Amino acid sequence: MVTAYFLLPLDHLGPRRPALSWTLFGLALALIALLLLRQVVQVLLDRPEVRPGLVIPLLTCLAVLVFATAYQALAQRPGEFHGLTTRLDALYFTVVTLATVGYGDITPHGQAARLVTILQILYAFVFLTAAATALSSHLRGALRRHESTHRNGAP
């Protein structure tokens, strides 16, 4: 996915096609959110066929790349970002924002850039936190079942 992020021709997004850019951004985030929520519900219902250990990290990575793409597209508009000029800068800013580190070397100045940054923070609070909680719950349950099986003498 990261390789695709760096290789896909994303230069057609941004200020030249704002309606398309915002539509794709919204649709991608909505789809990822729905898929994450589906995984969370399946974990909470304790469905045995669910495999969140693979799906949740992939969807989380995809969400990061969607936000990085949005930041890169926004950076093409003058005045939106200070210090963001490359795709790596956009990915770096996304991860720094997600980790709530905020080094300050890349800063959103424009209203659209600030809006997307706020959306990323809220998205992380709601969807990524729920997904991480579900994943850790699933892993704790699997560990308890594994320990119980070995404690009862099963091979």
Domain residues for the domain of 141 are 2-151
Q: Does residue 153 surpass a pLDDT of 70?
A: no
Domain total in the chain: 1
Question: Does 152 score more than 70 pLDDT?
Answer: no
- Pick 3 or 153 by higher pLDDT: 3
Model pLDDT for residues 102-139, shown as the tens digit of each residue: 888 999 999 999 999 999 999 999 988 888 888 888 77
Surface-to-core class of residue 114, CB atoms within 10 Å of its CB (0-12 exposed, 13-18 middle, 19+ buried)? middle
Structure pTM? 0.85
**Cα distances (angstroms) measured from residue 8 to each of 3, 11, 32, 96:** 8, 9, 19, 23
pLDDT for 79: 94
What tokens appear for 116 in the block?
A: 């997307």
Cβ(60)–Cβ(66) below 8 Å = no
* Pairwise pLDDT comparison (135 vs 8), residue with the higher score: 8
CATH code assigned at 136? 1.10.287
Handedness of CA 135, 139, 144, 148 (dihedral sign): positive
- pLDDT in the model for residue 23: 94
Structure tokens at 81: 């970002």
Mean local confidence (pLDDT), 75-87? 94
